[in-house]
């Protein structure tokens, strides 16, 4: 049997139609569009590419976006000044500090400076703390795990009581993902490089979220036929047969897994477009909240 393929591009496009309507309504009512400002303080080409794609998506739905391209040798003070000026600008509704920051920057100090109503990435320690706590809700939840949740919804997964395995424990994906799955009443196991007998954990998983950044790492025979697999990995591998000389693959061996599991997301075109769309959702929500509370 072949798995259902979860197409993040198609789902993102559907959601973006609604978002464009909400952005247009906002603009008509308040006389200026929702605005997202990104702070890019590294010379990492992948980060620059993410920010470019985020900007393209903003334009599609009628959100203004701007990028503060700072030198990779910027000081803590310079990064903090940029964030503070965005906090103070009433026309800016969402602030995104692109991670990773260069090593001389204290990430925690920078992220906790972002004004809570503008924390559309959900990385402020208060928002992450609320995400981790029962009965509390963050103002905004991080975009990548939110996008994964939308893909699971699209797959029709009943998360209550499901065995969910999250592969990876990063602050951006693995940890917040696990917290969201717990809140959705799944039984969650977080696996990482020190996990013993990873294959045994994966074989009993109803839901697998792969977010470790290792190309084609998860093998098809580690998965079961009921599994719904969300592949967060975006790994560039050399491929002389491709005219660019490379192609993108996920953390899961897609070609083999698609023959085994119930559903699997594509790479590219799965989690990536959904991550960017959830950022747009958060930005438009931020704009409405700020305008209504002004």
Of 37 and 216, CB closest to ligand GUN: 37
- Using CB under 6 A as the binding rule, whether residue 82 contacts ligand GUN is answered as no
**What sign for the dihedral angle of Cα 214, 123, 135, 284?**
negative
Look at residues 79, 3, 84, 1 and name the one whose alpha carbon lies nearest to residue 42: 79
Instruction: Return the structure tokens found at 260.
Output: 């085994």
Is 98 annotated as catalytic? yes
Is 121 annotated as catalytic? yes
- Using CB under 6 A as the binding rule, whether residue 111 contacts ligand GUN is answered as no
> How far, in Å, CA of 53 to CA of 37, rounded?
14
Rounded to 5°, angle at Cα 203 from 186 and 215:
95
- Distance set, CA 215 to CA 82, 148, 291 (Å): 36, 19, 44
| Beta carbon of residue 224, minimum distance to ligand GUN (angstroms, whole number) | 29
| Beta carbon of residue 134, minimum distance to ligand GUN (angstroms, whole number) | 25
Of 130 and 262, CB closest to ligand GUN: 130
Residue located via tokens 């993410």: 50
Look at residues 288, 294, 279, 293 and name the one whose alpha carbon lies nearest to residue 33: 288
| Beta carbon of residue 278, minimum distance to ligand GUN (angstroms, whole number) | 9
Binders of ligand GUN in range 171-190 (CB under 6 A): 172
Using CB under 6 A, pick the residue from 23, 42, 63, 121 that binds ligand GUN: 121
- Using CB under 6 A as the binding rule, whether residue 110 contacts ligand GUN is answered as no
How many Cα atoms occupy the beta-carbon half-sphere of 216 within 13 Å? 10
All residues at 6 or more sequence positions from 269 whose CB lies less than 8 Å from its CB, including other chains: 7, 8, 9
What is the biggest distance separating any 2 CA atoms in the chain, rounded to whole angstroms? Answer: 57
Total residues binding ligand GUN (CB under 6 A): 9
Of 16 and 98, CB closest to ligand GUN: 98
- Using CB under 6 A as the binding rule, whether residue 95 contacts ligand GUN is answered as no
Using CB under 6 A, pick the residue from 19, 61, 83, 99 that binds ligand GUN: 99
Of 172 and 181, CB closest to ligand GUN: 172
Strand partners, 167: 191, 210
Using CB under 6 A, pick the residue from 12, 143, 180, 280 that binds ligand GUN: 143
Using CB under 6 A, pick the residue from 3, 92, 97, 105 that binds ligand GUN: 97
By DSSP bridging, strand 187-191 and strand 207-210 are unpaired
The pattern of x and - marking residues 244 through 273 that bind ligand GUN according to CB under 6 A reads: ------------------------------
- Using CB under 6 A as the binding rule, whether residue 282 contacts ligand GUN is answered as no
Active-site residue, from 57, 119, 121, 251: 121
> How far, in Å, CA of 204 to CA of 277, rounded?
31
> How far, in Å, CA of 228 to CA of 220, rounded?
12
| Residues tagged active-site | 54, 98, 121
Binding site for ligand GUN (CB under 6 A): 96-99, 121, 143-144, 172, 275
């Amino acid at each position: 049997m072949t798995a259902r393929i979860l197409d993040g591009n198609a789902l993102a496009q559907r959601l973006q139609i609604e978002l464009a309507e909400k952005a247009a309504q906002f603009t008509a009512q308040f006389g200026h569009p929702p605005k997202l400002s990104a702070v890019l303080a590294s010379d990492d080409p992948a980060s620059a590419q993410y920010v470019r794609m985020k900007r393209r998506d903003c334009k599609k739905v009628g959100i203004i976006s701007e990028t503060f391209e700072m030198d990779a040798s910027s000081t803590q003070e310079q990064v903090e000044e940029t964030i503070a000026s965005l906090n103070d600008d009433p026309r800016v509704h969402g602030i995104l500090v692109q991670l990773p920051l260069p090593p001389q920057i204290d990430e925690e100090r920078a992220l906790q400076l972002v004004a809570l109503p503008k924390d559309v990435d959900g990385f402020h320690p208060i928002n992450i703390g609320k995400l981790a706590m029962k009965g509390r809700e963050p103002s905004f939840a991080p975009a990548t795990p939110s996008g994964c949740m939308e893909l699971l919804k699209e797959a029709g997964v009943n998360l209550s009581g499901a065995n969910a395995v999250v592969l990876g424990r990063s602050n951006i994906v693995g940890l917040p993902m696990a917290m969201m799955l717990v809140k959705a009443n799944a039984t969650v196991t977080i696996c990482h490089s020190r996990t013993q007998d990873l294959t045994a954990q994966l074989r009993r998983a109803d839901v697998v979220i792969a977010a470790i950044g290792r190309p084609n790492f998860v093998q098809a025979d580690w998965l079961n036929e009921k599994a719904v697999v969300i592949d967060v990995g975006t790994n560039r591998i050399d491929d002389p047969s491709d005219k660019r000389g490379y192609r993108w693959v996920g953390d899961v061996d897609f070609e083999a897994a698609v023959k085994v599991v119930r559903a699997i997301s594509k790479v590219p075109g799965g989690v990536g477009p959904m991550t960017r769309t959830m950022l747009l959702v958060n930005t438009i929500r931020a704009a409405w909240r700020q305008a209504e509370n002004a």
